[in-house]
A and B are shown apart, each in its own frame.
Chain A
Amino acid sequence: MKVLQESILVDCLDRLEAGATVAEILAKYPDQRDELMPFLTTAVALSASIPPPAVAQTEARQRFLAEAAALRRQRGKNFGAGRLTRLLRALVLGQVVG
């Protein structure tokens, strides 16, 4: 397998990303066809999506939202406790000053 110029490889990937097919790109570089074929098909294979099972995403979403709900409750408690502390402080200060 001959070593291809990197500028050709970059150009091929640019064309692939722009929507050209492997056949169209190979037609542009007929002299490098044999070397480019595995390169381009590898690039296409990488582009193929890797979907996780739908159930994994759904379960992950449920766990994520359940955790968020727990944190929201915690935030609410902290906020409530903070307000109560500030109110008590103000009352005590009012007694002392008054």
Chain B
Amino acid sequence: MQLLRRAQKLEPEALGQIHDLYYMRIYRYVAFRVQDQHTAEDLTSEIFLRLLTALHDRQGPQHTLQGWLYGAAANVVKEFYRRQVRFMTAPLAENMAENGRTLDDQYDLILLRQNLVAVLQDLTDEQQNVLALRFGYELPIREVARLLGKSEGAVKMLQARAIGSLSHRLVALGVEA
């Protein structure tokens, strides 16, 4: 709350803290929805600029940043898809070099993620959104349920169906997860 109050005054330290706290989570949420690294980076920047504009116009978050940022991220992703006449995907894993993995492990992981990216788009919008919130934004089930206005049981079921659907598609593609 204190951080939000300071952000409303556009204090640089508070804004820097907010950027550090939320950038990765917002980026990962967006990356789950748009599947292209550069687009995800651009859209994440746009979300933070919207936060600034809202704070400047005194229309920003009043109580919680997390919920506001999720709402802004969901809107930015929707607008992005509206703007897209044709959706192009690019390998998400281009820069996914992971420390401490063997080259084979890295290759397997990259291959798996590329295939995941390809089949994610086959899921329903609702399923994609739940996965993005859970694995991108890293929200607990309770928070996802609150944001989407669903019961925790319903979110768990949606998540299980989405992952089940993904794994079926990966198996059909011959990808060993």
Q: Which residues of A contact B (CB under 8 A)?
A: 1, 4, 6, 9-10, 13-14, 37-39, 41-53, 56-57, 60-61, 63-65, 67-69, 71-72, 74-75
Q: How far is the CB of B158 from chain A (nearest CB, A)?
A: 10
* A65–B37 alpha-carbon span in the complex (Å): 22
Interface of B is mostly: helix
| Residues from chain A with Cβ under 8 Å of B113 in the complex | 45, 48, 50
Asked if B3 is an interface residue, CB under 8 A from chain A, the answer is no
Asked if B66 is an interface residue, CB under 8 A from chain A, the answer is no
Q: How far is the CB of B70 from chain A (nearest CB, A)?
A: 17
Q: Which residues of B contact A (CB under 8 A)?
A: 10, 12, 15-16, 19-20, 23-24, 27-28, 31-32, 37, 40-41, 44-45, 48-49, 52-53, 55-56, 92, 95-96, 109, 112-113, 116, 131, 134-136, 156-157, 159-161, 163-164, 166-168, 170-171, 176-177
Q: A60-B19, A63-B45 are in contact. Are A38 and B177 (CB under 8 A)?
A: yes
